[in-house]
Copies of this chain bind each other. A is one copy, B any other.
Amino acid sequence: MKKYSEMTKDELKAEYEIIKAGFEEAKAKGLKLNMARGLPSAEQLDMEADFFNTLNPTVDFHSELGIDCRNYGELTGIHEARQLMADMMEVSPEEIIVFGNSSLNIMFDTVARSMQFGVLGSTPWNKLDKVKFLCPVPGYDRHFAITELFGIEMINIPMDDNGPDMDMVEKYVNSDPAVKGIWCVPKYSNPTGVTYSDEVVRRFANLKPAAEDFRIYWDNAYTIHHLYNGKEDILLEILAECKKAGNPNMVWKFCSTSKVTFPGSGIAALAASEENLADVKRILTIQTIGHDKLNQLRHVRYFKNIEGMHEHMKKHADIIRPKFELVISILERDLAPLNIGSWTHPNGGYFVSFDAPTGCAKRIVGLCKEAGVTLTGAGATFPYKKDPNDSNIRIAPTFPPIQELEQALNIFTLCVRLAAAEQILDEK
C-alpha cells in the first residue's frame, strides 16, 4: 500500500471514502470499549484470591516485633512491611514510611506539606511569589493535576529514549531557585515506557540546585512491572546515587502495590533520607493515627518477601504481555505501511505511547469516542492538558479482555487513518 504522503489527491480521496465507510460501520455497532486508564484486568485481580486467606481468625495478628496489628500505633509501618517496601524500592527499611493505599496521596501530601510547612526548615512555598516544577513530557496527568491545583508553574521538559533532556533540567534546576521539583516516572515511564539511562540518573543525582528545598519526585510506580522475563529494564537506584553525590536529601521516592495486589487496596510507601523522613514524621504524627497495619500484614504474609513479589509479577506479565503485543502488532499492520504516526515498544509498565501526525490527536480521540472507544483525553499527558503538537495519545491496553482490545485497536487505527487523510486532504 502507498503511503498517504505519496498518494495523489484522488487516490487519497478514494482511500478516505473507504475508511469513512469502515468508520460508519464501526459506529453503527454501538460498542463501548475503554482504553483510557491503566487498570489491571479482572483476570489479574482473580489471581490474588489467596491474598484473602492470609489473615483469618486462626492466624496471629502480631507483627514480628510483637505489635498487635489490630490496634493503634506504628506510624511508620510495621517492621516487616517497611522491609518489604524497602526491598521493592531498593533502599533500607529506615528510609521507608509505609502509608495508606495510594502513592498519589503521598505525592499530593508531600507537595501540600511543602506549600504549608516548607521542606526541612525552608520557607513554606505558600510564602513565595513563584514556585515552579519541571515536567518531563509526555508524562502522567495526575502529577500535573497536583501541581496545577497548587498554582505551581509547570515547565515542559522533552523526553527521549534515555529520559528527560538533562541539559535543560540542569539549566533550570541549577540556576532558578523557584524550581522546587521535577516529576519523574523513571522506569517504564507513563506513558512512553522509557527507563532512564544510568547517565541520566547520575546527572539527576549530581544536580546542584539553586533551591535548598528542590526535590526530585521519583514516582517509581512500575519498578517491578516487567513485561518480559529476561528482558527487564534496569534503573540505577537514585537515593544511593544522591548520597554518593553528596545530595542525600534531594529525592522523594514513591511506590505502591496498587498494580501488584489491588488498586485502591494495596499499600504505598515513601522512601527518602532519614533526615527527610524525620521532617515528614513531625507532621504525620499530627495528621493521622497511623495507617492500616492489617493490610500491611496481609501483604507481607502473602508475598513473604521481595522474591515472592517478583514471582507474582511474572504472572501479571503473562496476562498482560499478549495485550501489549496485540497493540503493537495492529499498529504495525495498519499504520506502519502508511507511515502514519509512531509508537513505543515498552518492556514494562502499563502503557503504549502513540504519537499521531502533528495536529491530529484531538481529532483521533474524538473520532474514537464517536465510534464507542474511550481513550485518555488528548493533551492529558502534558501540563495544563496542552500538547503543543496535539500529537500524543496514551494507550492503556491492560483492562479490556483481549477480544475487546482487538476491536478497540481496529477502530483506533481506522480513526488514525481517517484523521490523517482528512488533514492531508485539507492541505491539498
Tell me if A50 and B57 are in contact (CB < 8 A): yes
Whether A65 is near chain B, meaning CB under 8 Å from some CB there, is no
Whether A207 is near chain B, meaning CB under 8 Å from some CB there, is no
The residue in chain B whose Cβ has the minimal distance to the Cβ of A50 is B57
Q: Which of A82-130 contact B (CB under 8 A)?
A: 100-102, 104-105, 108-109, 112, 115-116, 126
Tell me if B108 and A288 are in contact (CB < 8 A): yes
Contact with B along A40-64 (1 / 0, CB 8 A): 1010010011101101110001000
Q: Which of A246-265 contact B (CB under 8 A)?
A: 258, 262-265
Whether A132 is near chain B, meaning CB under 8 Å from some CB there, is no
Q: With a CB–CB cut-off of 8 A, which chain B residues contact A289?
A: 102, 104-105, 142, 258, 263-264
Give the number of copies in the complex.
Answer: 2
Tell me if A72 and B37 are in contact (CB < 8 A): yes
The residue in chain B whose Cβ has the minimal distance to the Cβ of A261 is B70
Tell me if B112 and A116 are in contact (CB < 8 A): yes
Whether A334 is near chain B, meaning CB under 8 Å from some CB there, is no
Tell me if A57 and B49 are in contact (CB < 8 A): yes
Q: With a CB–CB cut-off of 8 A, which chain B residues contact A71?
A: 39-40, 42, 45, 262-264
Q: With a CB–CB cut-off of 8 A, which chain B residues contact A149?
A: 283, 286
Tell me if A263 and B72 are in contact (CB < 8 A): yes
Tell me if A53 and B50 are in contact (CB < 8 A): no
CB distance from A330 to the nearest CB of B (A): 25
Most B Cβ at <10 Å: residue of A71, A146, A258: A71
Whether A287 is near chain B, meaning CB under 8 Å from some CB there, is yes
Q: With a CB–CB cut-off of 8 A, which chain B residues contact A50?
A: 57
Q: With a CB–CB cut-off of 8 A, which chain B residues contact A126?
A: 116, 126
CB distance from A267 to the nearest CB of B (A): 10
Assembled-state Cα–Cα distance A293/B55 (Å) = 17
Contact with B along A143-186 (1 / 0, CB 8 A): 00110011000000000000000000000000000000000000
Assembled-state Cα–Cα distance A52/B56 (Å) = 5
Tell me if B102 and A288 are in contact (CB < 8 A): yes
Whether A366 is near chain B, meaning CB under 8 Å from some CB there, is no
Where the two chains meet, the residues of A that have a C-beta atom closer than 8 Å to any C-beta of B are: 37, 39-40, 42, 45, 48-50, 52-53, 55-57, 61, 68-73, 100-102, 104-105, 108-109, 112, 115-116, 126, 142, 145-146, 149-150, 258, 262-265, 283, 286-295
Among all A-B residue pairs, the 7 with the closest Cβ atoms = A49-B57, A105-B288, A265-B294, A72-B263, A108-B287, A45-B70, A70-B262
